[in-house]
Amino acid sequence: MVRTTMHEPLMASDAALLDILTGPQLVIPPKDTFARRDAALDPLMMAAALATGPHVTRNHYAHDFFPGVALPTDEGSWDWTKFTGQSADESQPRKRLTYVSRQAPRKVKAEPTSVEKANILEVTPTPPPVSADAHPPRLSAASGAQTQTSSSSTLPPLEVKCMARTRIPTPHGPAFLHIYHNNRDSKEHLAMVIDPGQLVESSSAMVAPSIRSRSLDAVWSASETEMDRITRGAYVGRLSQAHQRASAPSATRRIAPIDNIPSPLIRIHSECFTGETVGSMRCDCGEQLDEAIRLISQPITVPSASPSTPPTQIPGRGAVVYLRQEGRGIGLLSKIRAYNLQDLGHDTVTANLMLGHGADERGYDIAVAILRDLGLGDREQGEGVRVLTNNPDKVQALEDDGLRVVERVPMIPRSWRMRQAAQDGTLPSSHKHDEHIAGATLIGGNAVYGQDLDKYLRTKVLRMGHILPLWMDGEEDL
Ligand SMILES: Nc1nc2c(ncn2[C@@H]2O[C@H](COP(=O)(O)OP(=O)(O)OP(=O)(O)O)[C@@H](O)[C@H]2O)c(=O)[nH]1
């Protein structure tokens, strides 16, 4: 990779560059250390070096060189500062390097390193101006939503900013996908806002307040045009060739709960590539994402104030916040390793512990900040929320991070609900075989049954305290 041509021998400067990239310490060499060759390779390599190493946060995947390892706990493999390349026995050859990607466990990286602290302190006081097409590393306090809580006193207040929003038609109805940036990690966390009332152009038709991002609707720069705003999604009504109206910045306002209208329904969902993208039945994540969008999209019946007037129906409203914390925060690589341990007979909690991780390493402060930006669940201003989850620890964590939760709404696995209905004799015969449809955990799918899935659901109830009536052995066959 370092050679300029296939047959050219490794130059001294190449070797020095390689040492920097693979060495135990990140040392930035003085300018002009290396003789310039023929390509923009050095800046690229230096960028690669800067993007790895001890300053990565726990949310970054680190791509770097290590001795080949079997388990992440071996040889301090997550901690490249421990690797010297030298064997204890000087007569032995240097250890061979392999190229790997991994994520440090939360408990190790939650405390920022000195380099991280320096970066944070250096950038935060003077945030760069934000333009519609720029992706700023830090956010402007004027347009970003801040949380009051900070996981560490050394970190600046958490800020999130919605960079773009667009309409997504789903099998359950329309939604607005919002992409968020934040000043804690480099991931693009998402929010699916379900509020089809917003697609109606006349505001008089809206009964409930619109769920809109304050940071998206804010003015980002004096020079931004109406087209800049519309392109990033700061528009009202439904966008079409005939209708293009930019939104006005929304002042921070108190959204009072409206009489009789239930608080918005929300779900905080953590990324699961296997369950959501390839329909893995080792977990229920794909189904839960789909079920959350379906449940939030259900029309809401609003009882009338007087017994003589019939109830009215309004469109469903709420949001799914989608956090990029794969595998309960341990990352896809560790999750895949955990699956192999599960195939050896361990359950998901034990497998995590065997790999040196906690049972659950997720955090919810970014989700709470995103909801606050959407005017949801804010203790001071905004509506309380009803949260779709079976996990009482998640509710507690959300409340600790400042979310106003007014109700926990359970999510019953579709296969358990269907088997219950079959047992009660209330299952329509046309549904009898639906739960075996291949790939049915994917969006818009149906109930699906599998032994791995059942084992996972039972672990959640028996080992993780999820609040679900347990479907007992021997009752699974329809
Ligand atoms: N470590 C690990 N993570 C898993 C496994 N299966 C699914 N996940 C991850 O678990 C996360 C979902 O968390 P769950 O524990 O299923 O559910 P929850 O979010 O705590 O609770 P609910 O709100 O009721 O769904 C996703 O990020 C998945 O990628 C597994 O076997 N091991």
User: Residues 439-448: pLDDT tens digits?
Assistant: 445 666 666 6
Is pLDDT larger for residue 311 or for residue 230? 230
The answer on pLDDT for 250 being more than 70 is yes
pLDDT at 386: 96
Please indicate whether residue 330, judged by its CB atom, sits closer than 6 Å to ligand 1.
Answer: yes
Alpha-carbon distance 279 to 433, whole Å?
18
pTM of the prediction?
0.67
- Is the shortest distance between the CB of 328 and ligand 1 below 6 Å? yes
pLDDT in tens, 63-78: 444 444 444 444 444 4
- The pLDDT assigned to 60 comes to 41
Buried b / exposed e over 70-85, threshold 16 CB at 10 Å, is eebeebebbebeebee
Q: State the pLDDT at residue 306.
A: 79
403, 396 Cβ separation under 8 angstroms: no
Distance in Å, CA 327 to ligand 1 centroid: 6
Distances (CA, A) of 467 to 60, 195, 412, 473: 32, 28, 10, 18
Our mutation pick for probing the ligand 1 site, out of 265, 267, 285, 291, counting the most ligand atoms within 8 A of Cβ, is 285
Q: Where residue 114 falls among pLDDT bands split at 50, 70, 90?
A: low
Does ligand 1 have an atom closer than 6 angstroms to the CB of 352? yes
Give me the architecture of the 124-325+362-409 domain, per CATH: 3-Layer(aba) Sandwich (3.40)
Q: What are phi and psi of 66, to 5 degrees?
A: -145, 165
Q: How confident is the model at residue 159, as a pLDDT?
A: 94
Q: Does ligand 1 lie within 6 Å of residue 411's CB atom?
A: yes
Asked if residue 389 has pLDDT above 80, the reply is yes
- Catalytic positions are 360, 362
Q: Atom 5 in ligand 1: which residue has the minimum CA distance?
A: 327
pLDDT bucket at 364, cuts 50 / 70 / 90: very high
Maximum average pLDDT range among 24-28, 30-34, 135-139, 418-422: 418-422
Residue 288 CA, closest ligand 1 atom number: 25
User: Which of 123-132, 243-252, 294-303 is modeled with the greatest confidence?
Assistant: 294-303
Average pLDDT, the chain: 74
pLDDT band for position 97 (cuts 50, 70, 90):
low
pLDDT at 453 over 70: yes
Give the ipTM of the model, two decimals please: 0.97
Q: 106 in ligand 1 pocket by Cβ < 6 Å?
A: no
Q: Give the residue extent of every domain in the chain.
A: 12-105, 124-325+362-409, 414-464
pLDDT at 190 over 90: yes
Report percent pLDDT > 90 for the chain: 36
Quote the ligand 1 centre to 215 CA distance (angstroms).
Answer: 30
Token couple for 349: 């909690």
Provide the pLDDT for residue 329: 95
